[in-house]
Structure 1
């Protein structure tokens, strides 16, 4: 880290005949610190939405059955001086249902959880700060592809099956 020091000299000037002593100077150092870091921009004008639609309970007859994949993208507006993009996907997991590798489906449904992967099939685990998803930086408009689907994990109960996943992004 570089530290830049500015030296400011303050002088006390004589104010009247009784202060004819030589002017005395004090010194104050003002330090400016900081660091220019690399970063990437992301299209924040839109949320990434995965519309799974209505899924019939009959299409998930047994525990372990899965629905169809639905794709979505995180879009970059460009990167500067970045070697890696690290993403952590934070939301409640289905750990209390025995599936910490899946995201909890809120909204009233029972027996389903949400599976999240990259487009090429790399699993994304909830709240995995020890092993974030790593992307290589890309030019403006590049898309980081994701996909989601329902996975049956128990006895089914109808209702909404939603998740709000917050993506924390860091750079290296």
Structure 2
């Protein structure tokens, strides 16, 4: 099984503010949907609660939580290890946030799908762990445009 992490990350590793994503880049959202559809996504409870429509469609949703036993459309588990163990027969699973889950998963992950955003936001309270020692194996650059407020790059990293 491949354990992958997917995230949109600013230059200072910022990923969120007040339980909301910092960036709404249509191409990034499309990439996320394309990459994760048909696979299992693992997330923390706060990340789940930030989703506007609940469980993500066409994916197995696992929420790491100690406080809830049932969330519609999701499986609830108490730890990353329990969630990963429940997926042991799957080809690839995706860790989709938030920062506490990313910090736990970075040490067991095999692959990172990172959208690097050329910005350093002043307001951020959630950060992605350091991945500077990972090897970039793919990079697709996108310039700032009328559709994108910031330049960004889709990158894939491996250990």
**TM-score, length-scaled by structure 2:** 0.23
**Which structure carries more relative contact order (alpha carbon 8 Å, separation 6+)?**
2
More helix by proportion, 1 or 2?
2
- Which structure: larger Rg? 1
Q: Tell me which protein shows more strand as a share of its residues.
A: 1
